[in-house]
Protein backbone atom coordinates (compact mmCIF):
# COMPACT_ATOMS: atom_id res chain seq x y z
CA UNK A 1 0.00 0.00 0.00
CA UNK A 2 1.40 3.38 -1.05
CA UNK A 3 1.59 5.93 1.77
CA UNK A 4 0.46 9.48 1.11
CA UNK A 5 2.11 12.32 2.97
CA UNK A 6 -0.64 14.80 2.08
CA UNK A 7 -4.20 14.71 0.78
CA UNK A 8 -3.18 16.49 -2.45
CA UNK A 9 -0.96 13.54 -3.42
CA UNK A 10 -4.08 11.43 -3.92
CA UNK A 11 -4.64 12.99 -7.37
CA UNK A 12 -1.31 11.62 -8.61
CA UNK A 13 -2.21 8.00 -7.80
CA UNK A 14 -2.94 6.07 -11.01
CA UNK A 15 -6.50 4.75 -11.19
CA UNK A 16 -6.84 0.96 -11.64
CA UNK A 17 -9.84 -1.06 -12.88
CA UNK A 18 -10.35 -4.43 -11.15
CA UNK A 19 -13.85 -5.24 -12.41
CA UNK A 20 -16.52 -4.07 -14.85
CA UNK A 21 -19.92 -4.32 -13.13
CA UNK A 22 -20.06 -7.91 -11.82
CA UNK A 23 -17.37 -9.21 -14.16
CA UNK A 24 -14.00 -9.43 -12.41
CA UNK A 25 -11.02 -8.88 -14.70
CA UNK A 26 -8.32 -11.59 -14.71
CA UNK A 27 -5.72 -8.88 -13.99
CA UNK A 28 -5.96 -5.20 -12.99
CA UNK A 29 -5.90 -2.66 -15.83
CA UNK A 30 -5.02 1.02 -15.44
CA UNK A 31 -6.98 3.80 -17.13
CA UNK A 32 -3.85 4.59 -19.13
CA UNK A 33 -3.63 1.03 -20.48
CA UNK A 34 -7.34 0.97 -21.27
CA UNK A 35 -7.04 4.23 -23.22
CA UNK A 36 -4.08 2.96 -25.25
CA UNK A 37 -5.88 -0.31 -26.04
CA UNK A 38 -8.99 1.50 -27.31
CA UNK A 39 -6.87 3.95 -29.33
CA UNK A 40 -4.77 1.12 -30.82
CA UNK A 41 -7.90 -0.85 -31.72
CA UNK A 42 -9.43 2.19 -33.46
CA UNK A 43 -6.23 2.75 -35.45
CA UNK A 44 -6.16 -0.90 -36.55
CA UNK A 45 -9.80 -0.71 -37.64
CA UNK A 46 -9.22 2.58 -39.48
CA UNK A 47 -6.03 1.48 -41.27
CA UNK A 48 -6.96 -2.19 -41.67
CA UNK A 49 -7.28 -1.90 -45.47
CA UNK A 50 -3.78 -0.44 -45.92
CA UNK A 51 -0.48 -2.34 -45.90
CA UNK A 52 1.00 -3.88 -43.86
CA UNK A 53 -2.24 -4.44 -41.88
CA UNK A 54 -4.10 -5.47 -45.04
CA UNK A 55 -1.69 -8.41 -45.46
CA UNK A 56 -2.66 -9.85 -42.04
CA UNK A 57 -5.49 -12.40 -42.38
CA UNK A 58 -5.89 -13.50 -38.78
CA UNK A 59 -8.58 -11.48 -36.98
CA UNK A 60 -7.20 -12.45 -33.57
CA UNK A 61 -3.73 -11.19 -34.47
CA UNK A 62 -4.97 -7.98 -36.10
CA UNK A 63 -7.65 -6.89 -33.64
CA UNK A 64 -6.39 -8.34 -30.34
CA UNK A 65 -2.69 -9.17 -30.28
CA UNK A 66 -1.48 -6.03 -32.11
CA UNK A 67 -3.52 -3.60 -29.91
CA UNK A 68 -2.40 -5.49 -26.78
CA UNK A 69 1.24 -5.31 -27.93
CA UNK A 70 1.01 -1.59 -28.66
CA UNK A 71 -0.66 -1.03 -25.29
CA UNK A 72 2.11 -2.88 -23.47
CA UNK A 73 4.81 -0.98 -25.37
CA UNK A 74 3.28 2.45 -24.76
CA UNK A 75 2.70 1.77 -21.05
CA UNK A 76 5.97 -0.02 -20.19
CA UNK A 77 8.78 1.17 -22.47
CA UNK A 78 10.57 4.40 -21.52
CA UNK A 79 12.78 6.81 -23.44
CA UNK A 80 14.99 9.13 -21.44
CA UNK A 81 13.01 8.15 -18.34
CA UNK A 82 9.67 9.02 -20.00
CA UNK A 83 6.87 6.99 -21.48
CA UNK A 84 6.80 6.99 -25.33
CA UNK A 85 3.89 9.43 -25.62
CA UNK A 86 5.45 11.77 -23.02
CA UNK A 87 8.80 11.63 -24.80
CA UNK A 88 7.17 12.35 -28.17
CA UNK A 89 5.19 15.21 -26.64
CA UNK A 90 8.34 16.78 -25.19
CA UNK A 91 10.17 16.48 -28.55
CA UNK A 92 7.29 18.15 -30.44
CA UNK A 93 7.03 20.88 -27.80
CA UNK A 94 10.77 21.53 -27.98
CA UNK A 95 10.82 21.94 -31.77
CA UNK A 96 7.57 23.94 -31.99
CA UNK A 97 8.04 26.48 -29.25
CA UNK A 98 10.05 29.68 -29.88
CA UNK A 99 13.58 29.67 -28.53
CA UNK A 100 15.77 32.50 -27.33
CA UNK A 101 19.32 31.24 -27.29
CA UNK A 102 22.78 32.23 -28.48
CA UNK A 103 24.17 28.70 -28.28
CA UNK A 104 24.16 28.27 -32.06
CA UNK A 105 25.62 31.66 -32.87
CA UNK A 106 29.29 30.53 -32.83
CA UNK A 107 28.43 27.72 -35.25
CA UNK A 108 26.61 30.14 -37.53
CA UNK A 109 29.59 32.50 -37.52
CA UNK A 110 31.95 29.63 -38.30
CA UNK A 111 30.02 27.74 -41.00
CA UNK A 112 27.68 30.23 -42.72
CA UNK A 113 29.66 31.99 -45.46
CA UNK A 114 30.07 35.74 -45.20
CA UNK A 115 29.51 37.05 -48.72
CA UNK A 116 29.09 40.57 -50.02
CA UNK A 117 25.84 41.78 -51.62
CA UNK A 118 25.64 40.83 -55.29
CA UNK A 119 24.55 44.32 -56.34
CA UNK A 120 24.79 47.10 -53.76
CA UNK A 121 23.40 49.75 -56.11
CA UNK A 122 20.20 47.84 -56.96
CA UNK A 123 16.92 49.32 -55.77
CA UNK A 124 13.58 47.71 -55.01
CA UNK A 125 11.62 47.51 -58.26
CA UNK A 126 8.17 48.19 -56.84
CA UNK A 127 6.45 48.72 -60.20
CA UNK A 128 7.98 45.57 -61.69
CA UNK A 129 6.97 43.49 -58.65
CA UNK A 130 3.38 44.75 -58.87
CA UNK A 131 3.11 44.03 -62.62
CA UNK A 132 4.63 40.54 -62.27
CA UNK A 133 2.32 39.79 -59.33
CA UNK A 134 -0.74 40.88 -61.30
CA UNK A 135 0.44 38.82 -64.29
CA UNK A 136 0.81 35.68 -62.18
CA UNK A 137 -2.50 36.20 -60.38
CA UNK A 138 -4.39 36.76 -63.66
CA UNK A 139 -2.89 33.69 -65.34
CA UNK A 140 -3.40 31.41 -62.33
CA UNK A 141 -6.96 32.61 -61.72
CA UNK A 142 -7.88 32.19 -65.39
CA UNK A 143 -6.37 28.72 -65.58
CA UNK A 144 -8.14 27.53 -62.42
CA UNK A 145 -11.45 28.75 -63.87
CA UNK A 146 -10.91 26.25 -66.70
CA UNK A 147 -11.16 23.44 -64.15
CA UNK A 148 -14.45 24.87 -62.83
CA UNK A 149 -16.00 24.92 -66.33
CA UNK A 150 -14.36 21.64 -67.49
CA UNK A 151 -13.11 23.53 -70.54
CA UNK A 152 -10.56 26.18 -71.46
CA UNK A 153 -13.07 27.68 -73.87
CA UNK A 154 -15.08 29.75 -71.39
CA UNK A 155 -15.49 33.46 -70.79
CA UNK A 156 -13.77 33.63 -67.41
CA UNK A 157 -10.64 31.80 -68.56
CA UNK A 158 -10.35 33.81 -71.79
CA UNK A 159 -10.88 37.09 -69.93
CA UNK A 160 -8.34 36.50 -67.17
CA UNK A 161 -5.72 34.87 -69.38
CA UNK A 162 -6.11 37.85 -71.74
CA UNK A 163 -5.58 40.21 -68.78
CA UNK A 164 -2.49 38.18 -67.86
CA UNK A 165 -1.07 38.56 -71.38
CA UNK A 166 -1.79 42.30 -71.25
CA UNK A 167 0.17 42.67 -68.00
CA UNK A 168 2.96 40.53 -69.47
CA UNK A 169 3.23 42.86 -72.48
CA UNK A 170 3.30 45.86 -70.14
CA UNK A 171 6.15 44.24 -68.21
CA UNK A 172 8.10 43.47 -71.42
CA UNK A 173 7.82 47.11 -72.49
CA UNK A 174 8.79 48.26 -68.99
CA UNK A 175 11.81 45.92 -69.01
CA UNK A 176 12.84 47.33 -72.41
CA UNK A 177 12.63 50.91 -71.14
CA UNK A 178 14.60 50.05 -67.98
CA UNK A 179 17.19 48.16 -70.05
CA UNK A 180 16.85 44.95 -68.01
CA UNK A 181 17.29 46.77 -64.68
CA UNK A 182 14.15 45.15 -63.33
CA UNK A 183 13.16 42.54 -60.77
CA UNK A 184 13.15 39.89 -63.54
CA UNK A 185 15.42 40.92 -66.43
CA UNK A 186 14.40 39.37 -69.73
CA UNK A 187 18.03 38.93 -70.80
CA UNK A 188 18.15 36.00 -68.37
CA UNK A 189 16.39 33.94 -71.03
CA UNK A 190 19.32 34.49 -73.39
CA UNK A 191 21.21 31.93 -71.31
CA UNK A 192 20.53 28.55 -72.90
CA UNK A 193 20.59 26.60 -69.64
CA UNK A 194 18.21 29.00 -67.92
CA UNK A 195 15.80 28.93 -70.86
CA UNK A 196 15.69 25.13 -71.25
CA UNK A 197 15.58 24.63 -67.47
CA UNK A 198 12.57 26.90 -67.05
CA UNK A 199 10.80 25.16 -69.95
CA UNK A 200 11.57 21.82 -68.32
CA UNK A 201 10.35 23.05 -64.91
CA UNK A 202 7.12 24.32 -66.45
CA UNK A 203 6.44 20.93 -68.08
CA UNK A 204 7.59 19.03 -64.98
CA UNK A 205 5.16 20.90 -62.74
CA UNK A 206 2.33 20.08 -65.15
CA UNK A 207 3.26 16.39 -65.29
CA UNK A 208 4.04 15.94 -61.59
CA UNK A 209 1.82 18.37 -59.66
CA UNK A 210 -1.23 17.82 -61.88
CA UNK A 211 -1.72 14.13 -61.00
CA UNK A 212 -1.27 14.97 -57.31
CA UNK A 213 -4.75 16.51 -57.51
CA UNK A 214 -6.51 13.44 -58.90
CA UNK A 215 -4.58 10.68 -57.08
CA UNK A 216 -6.37 11.27 -53.72
CA UNK A 217 -9.69 11.56 -55.58
CA UNK A 218 -8.94 8.27 -57.32
CA UNK A 219 -8.48 6.51 -53.98
CA UNK A 220 -11.59 8.13 -52.50
CA UNK A 221 -13.98 7.68 -55.46
CA UNK A 222 -12.75 4.39 -56.92
CA UNK A 223 -11.34 2.50 -53.91
CA UNK A 224 -13.79 3.98 -51.33
CA UNK A 225 -10.96 5.26 -49.13
CA UNK A 226 -11.53 7.87 -46.48
CA UNK A 227 -9.56 11.14 -46.88
CA UNK A 228 -7.13 9.97 -44.18
CA UNK A 229 -6.63 6.61 -45.89
CA UNK A 230 -6.11 8.35 -49.24
CA UNK A 231 -3.44 10.56 -47.68
CA UNK A 232 -1.69 7.56 -46.16
CA UNK A 233 -1.82 5.73 -49.50
CA UNK A 234 0.37 8.48 -51.01
CA UNK A 235 3.15 7.94 -48.47
CA UNK A 236 5.13 5.51 -50.71
CA UNK A 237 5.56 8.29 -53.26
CA UNK A 238 7.03 10.61 -50.64
CA UNK A 239 9.29 7.82 -49.40
CA UNK A 240 10.56 7.32 -52.95
CA UNK A 241 11.44 11.00 -53.24
CA UNK A 242 13.12 10.90 -49.85
CA UNK A 243 15.27 7.91 -50.81
CA UNK A 244 16.68 9.46 -53.98
CA UNK A 245 17.13 13.06 -52.80
CA UNK A 246 20.53 12.45 -51.09
CA UNK A 247 21.87 10.78 -54.23
CA UNK A 248 20.69 13.36 -56.78
CA UNK A 249 23.14 16.10 -55.73
CA UNK A 250 26.11 13.73 -55.87
CA UNK A 251 25.10 12.47 -59.32
CA UNK A 252 24.69 16.02 -60.64
CA UNK A 253 28.19 16.91 -59.43
CA UNK A 254 29.60 13.76 -61.03
CA UNK A 255 27.85 13.52 -64.42
CA UNK A 256 25.82 16.74 -64.74
CA UNK A 257 22.08 17.40 -64.88
CA UNK A 258 21.44 16.08 -68.40
CA UNK A 259 21.72 12.34 -67.83
CA UNK A 260 20.22 12.53 -64.33
CA UNK A 261 17.05 14.07 -65.77
CA UNK A 262 16.88 11.65 -68.71
CA UNK A 263 17.21 8.57 -66.51
CA UNK A 264 14.75 10.02 -63.98
CA UNK A 265 12.18 10.59 -66.75
CA UNK A 266 12.47 6.93 -67.78
CA UNK A 267 12.01 5.81 -64.15
CA UNK A 268 9.06 8.18 -63.73
CA UNK A 269 7.40 6.76 -66.87
CA UNK A 270 7.70 3.28 -65.36
CA UNK A 271 5.74 4.65 -62.41
CA UNK A 272 3.33 6.67 -64.59
CA UNK A 273 2.26 4.22 -67.29
CA UNK A 274 0.72 1.60 -64.92
CA UNK A 275 -1.56 4.33 -63.54
CA UNK A 276 -3.23 4.48 -66.96
CA UNK A 277 -4.41 0.87 -66.57
CA UNK A 278 -5.22 0.54 -62.85
CA UNK A 279 -8.78 -0.36 -61.87
CA UNK A 280 -10.85 -0.66 -58.72
CA UNK A 281 -9.64 -4.27 -58.47
CA UNK A 282 -5.93 -3.38 -58.49
CA UNK A 283 -4.22 -4.30 -55.22
CA UNK A 284 -3.15 -1.41 -53.02
CA UNK A 285 0.22 -3.14 -52.70
CA UNK A 286 0.87 -2.86 -56.45
CA UNK A 287 -0.31 0.76 -56.44
CA UNK A 288 2.07 1.51 -53.55
CA UNK A 289 4.98 -0.02 -55.48
CA UNK A 290 4.10 2.06 -58.56
CA UNK A 291 3.87 5.25 -56.48
CA UNK A 292 7.22 4.48 -54.85
CA UNK A 293 8.85 4.12 -58.29
CA UNK A 294 7.16 7.34 -59.41
CA UNK A 295 8.53 9.14 -56.36
CA UNK A 296 12.10 7.98 -57.01
CA UNK A 297 11.90 9.33 -60.56
CA UNK A 298 10.20 12.61 -59.67
CA UNK A 299 12.97 13.49 -57.23
CA UNK A 300 15.52 13.27 -60.05
CA UNK A 301 13.66 15.64 -62.38
CA UNK A 302 12.85 18.77 -60.41
CA UNK A 303 16.13 19.18 -58.52
CA UNK A 304 18.54 18.96 -61.51
CA UNK A 305 16.37 21.29 -63.60
CA UNK A 306 16.26 23.86 -60.81
CA UNK A 307 20.00 23.63 -60.13
CA UNK A 308 21.01 23.78 -63.80
CA UNK A 309 18.99 26.96 -64.32
CA UNK A 310 21.65 28.92 -62.41
CA UNK A 311 24.55 27.59 -64.49
CA UNK A 312 26.49 30.35 -66.28
CA UNK A 313 24.51 33.20 -64.68
CA UNK A 314 26.36 36.14 -63.16
CA UNK A 315 26.22 36.57 -59.39
CA UNK A 316 24.16 39.75 -59.55
CA UNK A 317 21.52 37.97 -61.63
CA UNK A 318 21.06 35.07 -59.20
CA UNK A 319 18.25 36.75 -57.16
CA UNK A 320 16.13 37.64 -60.22
CA UNK A 321 16.77 34.14 -61.61
CA UNK A 322 15.26 32.70 -58.43
CA UNK A 323 12.20 34.92 -58.88
CA UNK A 324 11.79 33.76 -62.47
CA UNK A 325 12.02 30.08 -61.47
CA UNK A 326 9.37 30.53 -58.75
CA UNK A 327 6.99 32.23 -61.18
CA UNK A 328 7.45 29.49 -63.80
CA UNK A 329 6.87 26.75 -61.20
CA UNK A 330 3.71 28.42 -59.86
CA UNK A 331 2.30 28.83 -63.37
CA UNK A 332 3.22 25.25 -64.29
CA UNK A 333 1.62 23.73 -61.19
CA UNK A 334 -1.54 25.83 -61.65
CA UNK A 335 -1.75 24.97 -65.34
CA UNK A 336 -1.12 21.30 -64.53
CA UNK A 337 -3.88 21.01 -61.94
CA UNK A 338 -6.29 22.89 -64.23
CA UNK A 339 -5.58 20.86 -67.36
CA UNK A 340 -5.68 17.49 -65.57
CA UNK A 341 -8.91 18.37 -63.75
CA UNK A 342 -10.38 19.62 -67.05
CA UNK A 343 -9.43 16.41 -68.86
CA UNK A 344 -10.95 14.22 -66.12
CA UNK A 345 -14.15 16.29 -66.01
CA UNK A 346 -14.48 16.44 -69.82
CA UNK A 347 -14.04 12.70 -70.35
CA UNK A 348 -16.46 11.85 -67.51
CA UNK A 349 -19.02 14.49 -68.54
CA UNK A 350 -22.32 13.04 -69.70
CA UNK A 351 -21.47 9.46 -68.69
CA UNK A 352 -23.35 7.42 -66.13
CA UNK A 353 -21.82 7.79 -62.64
CA UNK A 354 -20.32 4.30 -62.53
CA UNK A 355 -16.87 3.15 -61.46
CA UNK A 356 -16.02 2.08 -65.02
CA UNK A 357 -16.90 5.48 -66.46
CA UNK A 358 -15.14 7.26 -63.62
CA UNK A 359 -11.98 5.27 -64.37
CA UNK A 360 -12.04 6.56 -67.97
CA UNK A 361 -11.59 10.13 -66.71
CA UNK A 362 -8.74 9.23 -64.35
CA UNK A 363 -7.00 7.16 -67.03
CA UNK A 364 -7.21 10.10 -69.44
CA UNK A 365 -5.72 12.42 -66.83
CA UNK A 366 -2.81 10.06 -66.15
CA UNK A 367 -2.26 9.65 -69.92
CA UNK A 368 -1.99 13.41 -70.44
CA UNK A 369 0.52 13.60 -67.57
CA UNK A 370 2.62 10.84 -69.15
CA UNK A 371 2.62 12.66 -72.52
CA UNK A 372 3.74 15.92 -70.90
CA UNK A 373 6.42 13.98 -69.05
CA UNK A 374 7.69 12.67 -72.39
CA UNK A 375 7.99 16.26 -73.66
CA UNK A 376 10.57 16.98 -70.93
CA UNK A 377 12.99 14.84 -72.96
CA UNK A 378 13.32 17.74 -75.43
CA UNK A 379 14.76 20.40 -73.05
CA UNK A 380 16.69 17.76 -71.10
CA UNK A 381 19.00 17.11 -74.08
CA UNK A 382 20.22 20.72 -73.84
CA UNK A 383 21.13 20.59 -70.16
CA UNK A 384 24.75 20.57 -68.99
CA UNK A 385 26.70 17.35 -68.69
CA UNK A 386 30.22 16.55 -67.56
CA UNK A 387 32.74 14.59 -69.60
CA UNK A 388 35.30 12.35 -67.89
- The lowest-confidence range among 83-92, 134-143, 317-326 is 83-92
Q: Name which of 291, 287, 288 is nearest 268 in CA terms.
A: 291
Contact predicate 214/340, CB 8 Å: yes
Residue 106: what pLDDT? 65
Q: Are 141 and 195 in contact (CB under 8 A)?
A: no
Residues 266-286 have a mean pLDDT of 87
pLDDT band for position 89 (50/70/90)? low
Region 68-92: mean pLDDT is 68
As a whole number of angstroms, the distance between CA 382 and CA 304 comes to 13
The pTM of this model reads 0.64
Q: How confident is the model at residue 347 (pLDDT cuts 50, 70, 90)?
A: confident
Residue 267, pLDDT > 80, answer yes
Strand partners, 30: 16
Q: For residues 92 and 370, which has the higher predicted lDDT (pLDDT)?
A: 370
pLDDT in tens, 209-249: 888 888 888 888 888 888 888 888 888 888 888 888 778 87
Residue 258 CA to residue 37 CA, distance in Å, equals 53
- How far, in Å, CA of 94 to CA of 81, rounded? 17
d(CA 83, CA 71): 12
State the pLDDT at residue 190.
84
Distance separating alpha carbons of residues 55 and 78, to the nearest angstrom:
30
pLDDT at residue 98, rounded to an integer: 58
| Cα–Cα dist 15/11, whole Å | 9
Structure confidence by residue, pLDDT tens digits, 95-150? 656 555 555 566 666 666 666 666 666 677 778 888 888 888 888 788 777 767 76
What share of the chain in percent tops pLDDT 70?
A: 78
Amino acid sequence: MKKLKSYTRIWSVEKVIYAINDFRLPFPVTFNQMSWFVLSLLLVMLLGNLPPLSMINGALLKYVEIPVGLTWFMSQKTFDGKKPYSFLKSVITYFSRPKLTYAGKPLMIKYIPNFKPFDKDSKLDVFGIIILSLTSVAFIFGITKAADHASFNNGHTILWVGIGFAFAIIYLLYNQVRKNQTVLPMNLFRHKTFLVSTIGLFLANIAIIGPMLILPLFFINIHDFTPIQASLALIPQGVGMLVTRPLIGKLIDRIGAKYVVIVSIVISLIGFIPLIFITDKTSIIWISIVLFIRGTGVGGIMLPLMGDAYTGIEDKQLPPAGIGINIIENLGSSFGTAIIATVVATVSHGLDPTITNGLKGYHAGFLVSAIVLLLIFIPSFFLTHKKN
